[in-house]
Amino acid sequence: MTAVERLFSEDDRRRIGEAVREAERGTSGEIVVVIAAAADEHAETYWRSACLLAGLVMLADIGYRHYATFWLAWSADAVWVAMLAAGLLGFFAASWPPVRRALAGRERLSRRVRRAAEAAFTRERVFETRDRTGILVFLSLLERQVVVLPDAGIAAKAPESAWTGVVDEIVLGMKAGRPTEALVTAVRSCGDTLRAAGFSSRPDDANELPDLPKTAG
């Protein structure tokens, strides 16, 4: 079972899809929700973690040899074995999400989540609505970050602060342990923003993009 499936059951995804249909009703907007297990593998964090722990063992050995006033049966071979063991431990420790997030750094995480959101925007063809009124809501679980990308038609009219509020709603809901409710509330807020910005539906409007959330990983 993937990280996405652990947090969002089929019923949860149906609820989100229903919220999308409700939010789009009476508007020309199209809301696409994408839930990703991770925006990136952050492969460099494994080696950073390995080098960090191995380096700590090396520093401990240097400190012992130069400053310790006690004696241990600590040979050079033992140091190499300890460094190797620490490196392996560090490598596998990076599979723990908090360690990976810490070693990647917030700025790098934000860049990669943004890049993954932009790729999802293209992959899910959010830009293909008639009046460029698509909105992507992208949630990445590993990085614990959210990106909302409105297409050009919406960005020209709706205030950017409205999408910041949507992001905050999801983040607060995730922290409270209510992931499905967080996305449902955020989707409804997107619908409210569309209506407030004057994106009314036309008589010939059609549902141009799928309502059910897409998952990755």
The predicted pLDDT at position 161 comes to: 85
Rounded to an integer, what distance in angstroms lies between the CA atom of residue 85 and that of residue 50?
Answer: 9
The predicted pLDDT at position 173 comes to: 94
Q: Rg for the chain (alpha carbons), in Å?
A: 24
DSSP state of 213: P
**Phi and psi of 126, rounded to 5°?**
-65, -25
The pairing of beta strand 30-36 with beta strand 214-216: parallel
The predicted pLDDT at position 3 comes to: 86
pLDDT tier, 216 (very low <50, low <70, confident <90, very high otherwise): confident
The predicted pLDDT at position 1 comes to: 77
The predicted pLDDT at position 86 comes to: 93
CA atoms lying within 13 Å on the CB side of residue 132: 10
The predicted pLDDT at position 160 comes to: 84
Instruction: Return the minimum-mean-pLDDT range out of 30-39, 172-181, 191-200.
Output: 191-200
The predicted pLDDT at position 66 comes to: 82
The predicted pLDDT at position 62 comes to: 87
The predicted pLDDT at position 217 comes to: 66
Digit-coded pLDDT (tens) for 64-114:
888 877 777 777 788 889 999 999 999 999 999 999 999 999 999 999 999
Determine the average pLDDT of the residues in 12-38: 95
Rounded to an integer, what distance in angstroms lies between the CA atom of residue 164 and that of residue 174?
Answer: 15
| Domains, the chain, with CATH or none | 3-40+106-216 (3.10.310.50), 44-104 (no CATH)
Digit-coded pLDDT (tens) for 121-178:
999 999 999 889 999 999 999 999 999 999 999 988 888 888 999 999 999 999 999 9
pTM of the entire predicted model: 0.89
- Which residues are bridge partners to 215 per DSSP? 35
Q: Can you list the positions of beta strands (E) in the chain?
A: 30-36, 134-140, 145-150, 214-216
The predicted pLDDT at position 19 comes to: 96
The predicted pLDDT at position 156 comes to: 87
- Which residues are bridge partners to 200 per DSSP? 27
The better pLDDT of the pair 204, 60 is held by 60
